[in-house]
Amino acid sequence: MIIVTGATGKLGRAIVEKLLNDLSPDQVGVSVRDPEKAHDLQEQGVRVRTGDFEDPEGLRHAFEGASQVLIISSNSSGESAVQHHRNAIDAARASGAQRILYTSHMGANSASFFAPMRDHAATEEILKASGIAFTSLRNGFYSDSGLMLLGDALNTGTIIAPEDGPVSWTTHIDLADAAVIALTDDGNLDGLTPPLTASEALDLDAIAEAASKLAGREIKRVTVTDDEYRASMIAHGLPEARVDLILGLFAASRKGEFAAVDSTLENILGRPAISMQDFIGAHLSKAA
């Protein structure tokens, strides 16, 4: 049985739904904090059990009978996130799972300017020491995050942000397909994967240009200092910790931490990855 954690989140849900296209429901289980949110999966025959990263015993029950466990990374950060991942890895090992998969990041690096990348790097070290076969899916940066940075610019006509650098934006759809291939195709994507990215890296200038063409009106990129951005975000009610996290993203991108592109994702998908331009275009179509 394949167990997927976080199956009520965007990536986890997409992975489970795609797995059900290839496997019978009794071959798939999910570990979720709120089973009620996975009621529809249970009605399809998927095993649904309560699993919380802070409850090791509950995780062992949720993972019971697993041949593979896919751990969707925690929404927490810092030592809390690393402990969550450690609990899940230990529970998977205790359940007798033969393989663990983990949604890491192309920028995983213990010295990263962006804090979540340090958490991913620490988790990968735990995986290496686990003694179990593993795959660390080094996913590209979610295109959704690029859309978040674009913010209200489609209405205001302006993106205001600190200096940034190119980022390999990659969609949940493509990454979910890659995860399913890794789960169902033995020997595919073992260990630390290459960056699983679309075919190009774009900075905010390029995103503004693409959005301008798609929207049919100019969207201007305005660069401000980190301090100016921080003051503005806090004035708009964002918590300081959240603002500092975002500033870490800009600092890391300026250093080129997310600029790598690789053909691995497109090779395993057997098709081109969805570009950021197409992703923005689809968003505009839905909003119309």
Structural domains present in the chain: 2-139+172-192 (3.40.50.720)
pTM: predicted TM-score of the whole model, two decimal places: 0.95
- Residues 6+ positions from 182 with CB-CB distance below 8 Å: 101, 135, 137, 188, 189
Say how far apart CA 233 and CA 162 lie, in whole Å: 12
pLDDT at 288 over 70: no
Instruction: Name the helix (H) or strand (E) containing 250.
Output: helix 240-254
The answer to whether 83 and 91 are in contact (CB under 8 A) is no
Q: Report the alpha-carbon distance of residue 78 to residue 82 in Å, rounded.
A: 7
Q: Which residues contact 148 (CB under 8 A, 6 or more apart)?
A: none
Alpha carbon distance 1, 66 (integer Å):
5
In the block, which residue shows the tokens 């899916």? 137
**Beta carbons of 177 and 142 less than 8 angstroms apart:** no
**pLDDT over 80 (residue 187):** no
> What mean pLDDT do residues 241-269 have?
97
Place of tokens 């983990």: 102
144-167 tens-digit pLDDT: 999 999 888 988 999 999 999 999
Question: What is the distance between the alpha carbons of residues 263 and 222, in angstroms, rounded to a whole number?
Answer: 32
pLDDT in tens, 85-107: 999 999 999 999 999 999 999 99
pLDDT at 188 over 90: no
Q: What percent of the chain shows pLDDT beyond 90?
A: 93
- Which two three-digit tokens encode residue 163? 């200096």
Instruction: Give the torsion sign (CA, 66, 70, 72, 78).
Output: positive
